[in-house]
Amino acid sequence: MTTTPITQGLVCPVPHRESERVLLGHGSGGKLSAALLRDRFLPHLANPALAALGDAALVVVRGNELAVSTDTFVVSPIEFPGGNIGSLAVHGTLNDLAMMGAEPICLSAGFILEEGLPFDVLERVVAAMGAAARAVGVPVVTGDTKVVERGKADRMFINTTGLGLRRAGGGPAPDKARPGDRVLVSGPIGRHGMAIMAEREGIGFESKIESDSAALWPLVQPLLERLGPDLHVLRDPTRGGVASALNEIAAASRVGVTLEDGVIPVPAAVAAACEMLGLDPLYVANEGIFTAFVAAERAEEALGLVRSHPLGAEAAIIGQVTNDHPGFVILRTGLGGTRVVDLLPGDQLPRIC
């Protein structure tokens, strides 16, 4: 068999230009998102409360710590197994407050509706929103509605802003992780993202995967009360998944995180869907779980407390914090090997290989 000798040596495209426009990846919660925030927003909006980049901002008002969090929900499809954009909009913002250790007080809700949206769809979304808010006793006290022309909004976008109150003395924060801390996850991972993926046109598989969208304050409050300052960090791993959340904390706290492969809870259906598409559950979005960094000596106690609540029945300790490899999240595989769990540049893409 004759072949052409491989003599072309170094062949490569012209180096990739910086993107001059916003890409979908900028919204994925990975490196592009971080860069967008750092390069496009912070330079113009800098202030100490923002710079902390917590799940909610803390503003001191005459001696009280007020927590403020805002989130805009653009999920598509707007209705999915386990919820809709309305319930998600309530849970998401309330959870951001909860992650700062703030008791939620009230919410606002702003709607952008696409011309032509059927009323029965709107009805279902707002009903779910109301039910979610009532379930945790947090009223939606103010709101706004705008309508845009057909094609300018993917059916509906919702922004919710939440106000919470935090007791003096501080609370969990992303930079408080310490070597020796145990990393706890309150439930199985990957449900929300795969529930959404199942509905996507062109991917579509039948599954019993339901979004885990839920308000976490009822689970977080007893944990805060019992553990006090031994509860170092709380974070809900939304877009970008557990991997992204842990990377952000490792960076903020300047510590290393080591995870054990075998103990991370992944529902069988989520694992199967990820296998099918070549996705890693560690990067899939969640809307009803949190990760917690707890002082080592209180970890078992924390686990017991979380597990005693229905939402936390499958909680597990999945790793710990170390002095080694600061800023890196490392996974120990069942075979005794290790690998780095890094931030992805943008969204995970289904692969064929």
Partner 1 sequence: MKYLTEYRDPVVARALLARIKSTATRRWVLMEVCGGQTHTIVKQGLDELLEDAVEMIHGPGCPVCVTPLEQIDKALQVAARPDVIFTSFGDMLRVPGSDCDLLQVRARGGQVRIVYSPLDAVELARKNPDKQVVFFAVGFETTAPANAMAVWRARQLGVRNFSVLVSHVTVPPAMCAMLDAPDNRVQGFLAAGHVCTVMGWREYEPIAARYRVPIVVTGFEPLDILEGICLAVAQLEAGRHEVENQYVRAVRRDGTVPARHLVEEVFQLVDRKWRGIGEIPRSGLGLRAEYADFDAEIRFGLTEVTQEESGECRAGDVLRGQLKPFQCPAFGTRCTPERPLGAPMVSSEGACAAYYNYGRFRQAHAVSGTTP
Partner 2 sequence: MCLGIPGRVVDVRDDLGLAMGTVDFGGIRREVCLAYVAGEVKPDDYVVVHVGFAISMVDEAEARRTFEVLREMSQLEELDWMREVADRSLDPLGGPAA
Among positions 204, 222, 228, 304, the unique one binding partner 2 when judged by CB under 8 A: 204
257, 185 contact by CB (below 8 A): no
| CA 244/CA 25 separation, integer angstroms | 14
* Token reading at 214: 């839920």
Instruction: Give yes or no for residue 99 binding partner 2 (CB under 8 A).
Output: no
Instruction: Give yes or no for residue 349 binding partner 2 (CB under 8 A).
Output: no
Instruction: Give yes or no for residue 201 binding partner 2 (CB under 8 A).
Output: no
Among positions 17, 44, 62, 150, the unique one binding partner 1 when judged by CB under 8 A: 17
Q: Mark the segment that binds partner 2 (CB under 8 A) among 128-136, 166-174, 251-259, 264-272.
A: 264-272
Task: Give whichever of 150 and 351 is closer to partner 2, judged by the CB atom.
Answer: 351
| CA 184/CA 264 separation, integer angstroms | 10
Place of tokens 């939402």: 311
DSSP per-residue letters across 265-311? ---HHHHHHHHHHT--GGGS--SS--EEEE-GGGHHHHHHHHHTSGG
What residues contact residue 53 under an 8 Å CB cut-off, 6+ apart? 37, 174, 252
**Least distance (Å) from partner 2 to the CB of residue 288?**
20
Instruction: Give yes or no for residue 221 binding partner 1 (CB under 8 A).
Output: no
Instruction: Give yes or no for residue 151 binding partner 1 (CB under 8 A).
Output: no
Task: Give whichever of 205 and 328 is closer to partner 2, judged by the CB atom.
Answer: 205
Among positions 8, 39, 43, 206, the unique one binding partner 1 when judged by CB under 8 A: 8
165, 242 contact by CB (below 8 A): no
Instruction: Give yes or no for residue 196 binding partner 2 (CB under 8 A).
Output: no
3 state SS of 16: coil
DSSP single-letter state for residue 181: P
Instruction: Give yes or no for residue 19 binding partner 1 (CB under 8 A).
Output: yes
Place of tokens 């070597």: 179
Among positions 276, 295, 317, 330, the unique one binding partner 2 when judged by CB under 8 A: 276
Task: Give whichever of 118 and 337 is closer to partner 2, judged by the CB atom.
Answer: 337
Among positions 46, 61, 168, 352, the unique one binding partner 1 when judged by CB under 8 A: 352
3 state SS of 315: coil
| CA 121/CA 332 separation, integer angstroms | 46
Phi, psi for residue 267 in degrees, rounded to 5: -60, 145
Instruction: Give yes or no for residue 272 binding partner 2 (CB under 8 A).
Output: yes
Q: Mark the segment that binds partner 1 (CB under 8 A) among 43-51, 159-167, 168-176, 343-351.
A: 343-351
Q: Which does 310 bind (CB under 5 to 8 A by kind): partner 2, partner 1, none?
A: none
Phi, psi for residue 51 in degrees, rounded to 5: -60, -25
The site for partner 2 (CB under 8 A) is made up of 198, 204-209, 268-269, 271-273, 275-276, 278, 351-353
The site for partner 1 (CB under 8 A) is made up of 1-19, 21-25, 31-32, 35, 202-204, 268, 271-272, 275, 277-278, 324-325, 328, 330, 333-340, 342, 344-346, 349-353
